A and B are shown apart, each in its own frame.
Chain A
Amino acid sequence: MLERASVVGGGMPAGRRTVKAVPFVELAGGRVQGVVSSGSDVERVYVSFIASGGDYYCCTNNNRPCGGLGGGPCKHIREMVDEAVVQCGAARVAEYLGIAEAQGLDDGRAILGALRGDERKESPGEVFSRFLGYLRYCELQARPGTVLEMGWFAS
């Protein structure tokens, strides 16, 4: 019941993200994009995206393509979509990627299976700067005290 409601419950993400495997994921600019840790090399980090319609790419931040891109999205992209599902819910991720019939698509594998796209080489710079922009929230300062405006945002 939303009638005359100032506070609506259940607005927050359903699941709890773990940032170790996928430090960053977002739905922006018509894509699910993010930063994914390498499973084998602790030193390595990948920048990945999958766009509405299915085009995808994954590379290191030196713009070296991911070795797993063999004619289809690699496991980094799948892990990233899995995290997007935790963060936003499967229905929203599928809808955002332009999948018309999203029923039953509840994880990265199923969502990627419903998309047919091509590899589209792109520089990782934009996603990386979005990640840095996201990390700004760790540095921002607020003055101590009750922020009354948060009264609209029950957790």
Chain B
Amino acid sequence: MNALQTIPPGVAEALGLAEGFDDALMHGFARLGEDQRGGLEALAGVFDGSPLGPIVAEAVEAVGRSEFVARSFAALASARVALLGAAHDALVAQAREALGRVVPAPDEPPPSPPNGSAALLASVQQWLSELAIAGLKHLEEDSIAPFSATLENLQAVPEMAGLAALLTGFANELTRYVPASRRPDVPAFRWGDLWSAAMVRTHQSPASPTFREVEGVLTPLGLDVQAHENFLCAILYGILDDGEARTVRIPFSSYKVDALAGPEVWDLFDPIQAPVLDALDGHKTLQVKGELRADGDLILRSPPEVGAAADPFGAAERLGSLPAPPALHRHPVHIAEPIKLAVGHGLPIARERLGAASELTEAIVEKAAELVGLLRFDRGGWRFQPLCAGAKKKYVVSGEGLAGARKKLKNRSLDVLKERSGRLLRKG
């Protein structure tokens, strides 16, 4: 993967401009110094002559005069999101050229206004604005705790799960860091991402993807588990053969309590999860039937059936790209290009994306003759997140240990919690 040792022109500059904004966000718009003002002006400068240009310039002038209105912060967030979106597009084009993949631009329906009530979304904008004014590096518990009522209302709207999951994780993380002024190591770029992503999502939502019914044999390539304390999104990557080979994601998304983690979390997806985890455990294919969406999600409505022995490396010869996310969602963090690599590929391993309990240990990944996984971009360069490592007869696939671990579970946390709260309600 020599072609991915460098990055396309302009990407490093875009990341640098985002960092300039993040510096102001960490510092607080109420206490901008020369450096932060310079960073914001550079950000506005790059949009000069573009449709966003006038509103970004106006926002930078307004915050410079200490006029703090939600509209200005929304404009600044849009600028950061647009920069990272452009970086995403350039990176995806580079990766697909290197992989020899041609992907037609998706036919994207126009975004719609968000589903939540206007007052609710205005409350979110208000809180995000207050964070920006105070500066994320200067937060106290009192800057975050009062947001919980707004967050609860947002979580109650199922269509807003994306924004709610993002804000819940962000608020949890900020709470873990307070008082942030005492920590030298705040993840400024990440917080700039989360803050600006949340802000733009209060203004518009992507339209729902179209779908069609499919039926076929799925070769699992491995699980990518994404979670914070209160939400889980585990994605099974696979190749669906319904006459044609299609690279798909089978998503498992749910809210959860923090005590529910590891193998136990799969209780949330009963009964669909059982054959999926059994197939990973036994290195088998799955006979699936479901709804294939234009965004690449395959939604299962009934438990699939475990099939014959799977050959992920063979199937990976037919790997393809997943459709790009809607424009609003484009950010390098969402690049997950499925690829197959041979030993000596030269890409750093994205260990930060593999949990401590991952079956794909450093030793297994290092020794593997072949790898299937996701091409990722972070920290200014390309990285590789393995999903499956080894060779045809002997391999380790991410998620294969879950079915076995679940057999050893004794108490079910959810049942215990409900029983205990019942006791509290009844008597003391």
Contact = CB atoms under 8 A, between A and B. Distances in A.
- Verify that A and B bind, or say they do not: yes
Interface of A: 1-13, 16-20, 23-24, 28-30, 35, 37, 43-45, 47, 59-64, 87-88, 92, 128, 131-138, 140-155
Contact of A150 (B155, B231, B257, B420): B231
Interface of B: 15, 19, 141, 145, 148, 152, 155-156, 158-159, 161-163, 165-166, 169, 173, 176, 185, 187-190, 193-194, 197, 201, 225-233, 235, 249, 251, 253-259, 261-262, 293, 295-297, 299, 325, 329, 331-334, 336, 350-355, 378-380, 411, 413-414, 416-418, 420-421, 423-424, 427-428
A56 to B, nearest CB: 18
3 tightest A-B CB contacts, nearest first? A62-B428, A60-B428, A9-B352
B428 A64 contact: yes
Nearest to B189: A4
Nearest to A89: B176
A4 B15 contact: yes
A35 B197 CA distance: 35
B421 A152 contact: no
Point out which of A1, A8, A135, A148 has the most chain B C-beta atoms below 10 A from its C-beta: A148
B411 A20 contact: yes
B256 to A, nearest CB: 6
B416 A152 contact: no
Contact of A9 (B185, B188, B353): B353
A5 B251 contact: no
Given A6-B190, A136-B152, A155-B355, A131 B424 contact: yes
Contact of A145 (B152, B297, B413, B428): B297
Q: Chain A interface mostly helix, strand, loop or mixed?
A: loop
B33 to A, nearest CB: 21
Contacts of A155: 225-227, 355
A119 to B, nearest CB: 18
B15 to A, nearest CB: 5
Contact of A23 (B256, B350, B416): B416
Given A16-B261, A137-B255, A35 B424 contact: yes
Contacts of A19: 259, 411, 413, 416-417, 420
Contact of A5 (B189, B230, B296): B189
A104 to B, nearest CB: 20
Interface centre among A10, A128, A136 (most CB of B within 10 A): A136
Contact of B226 (A88, A131, A145, A153): A153
Contacts of A137: 230, 255-257
Nearest to B322: A146
Nearest to A139: B255
Contacts of A147: 161-162, 165, 231, 233, 251, 253
Nearest to A64: B428
A52 B23 CA distance: 32
